């Protein structure tokens, strides 16, 4: 499983989520992650149809297909539970 993280330096929710994701990625090394800045990666923003609301977290299965999308802040507990339940996708 892989998560694509979309955020920006001016986004309060993105700033809040950054250390949460850092902890999750350290605790679950099997999770692959990639970050895209909203202002610096317009091609990825368009490709993944990211709207005006960020942060956005897109979860991809082993084939690289999107199976879930989360918009906005979430708790570490909620994200860890979701990742552990879906890690083999």
User: Which residues are part of the catalytic machinery?
Assistant: 11, 14
Q: Give the largest Cα separation in the chain, rounded.
A: 34
Buried b (16+ CB within 10 A) or exposed e, 49-68: ebeeebbbbbbbeeeeeeee
Q: Residue written as tokens 């990825």? A: 44
């Amino acid at each position: 499983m892989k998560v694509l993280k979309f955020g920006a330096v001016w986004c309060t929710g993105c700033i809040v989520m950054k250390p949460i994701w850092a902890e999750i990625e350290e605790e679950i090394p099997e999770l692959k992650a990639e970050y895209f800045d909203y202002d610096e990666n317009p091609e990825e923003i368009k490709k993944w149809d990211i709207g005006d609301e960020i942060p956005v977290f897109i979860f991809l299965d082993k084939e690289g297909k999107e199976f879930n999308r989360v918009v906005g802040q979430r708790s570490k507990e909620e994200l860890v539970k979701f990742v552990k339940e879906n890690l083999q996708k």
